[in-house]
Amino acid sequence: MPREKFKTLTEQMFYILLCLRRECRGVDILETVRATTAGRVTIGSGTLYDLLDQFLAEGMIRETRVEGRSRSYLITDKGRELLGREYRRIRCQAADYDRVLREEGAG
């Protein structure tokens, strides 16, 4: 059974949307993700532009500026909702992990 599109996000997807809370160009996104994650998460330019196209098609982001080949993007309300949902999902996973470890330690 194929995964439902955007039901969960990959790390790359999560950080792209996180970056786009402020207007960014593709190169800005690549640099910001690398800096934010201390190099733990990297995104290839092909992957980045493929994901940006997918996010645009789904209304998660919008194009804000086009200057020659350079394009700038910004997250939409729909994208913010998806990012928030993913953040809550990750926090629930971390809480489950903590609970299981506490229970193992108590037993």
In a domain, 20, yes or no: yes
Residue 17 lies in a domain: yes
- Comparing CA positions, the residue from 56, 61, 66, 53 lying closest to residue 21 is 61
User: Residue 4 domain-assigned?
Assistant: no
Q: Report the C-alpha gap between 92 and 68 in whole angstroms.
A: 43
User: Domain residues for 93?
Assistant: 11-106
User: Does some domain include residue 6?
Assistant: no
Residue type, 13: M
Residue 41 falls inside a structural domain: yes
Domain count along the chain: 1
- What's the pLDDT score for residue 107? 55
pLDDT in tens for each of the 107 residues of the chain?
445 677 899 999 999 999 999 999 999 999 999 999 999 999 999 999 999 999 999 999 999 999 998 999 999 999 999 999 999 999 999 999 999 998 888 65
Distance between alpha carbon 105 and the CA centroid of its chain, in Å?
Answer: 34
Burial class (CB in 10 A: 0-12, 13-18, 19+), 22: exposed
CA R_g for the chain: 16
pTM of the model: 0.88
CATH code, 73 = 1.10.10.10
90 alpha carbon, distance to own chain's centre:
12
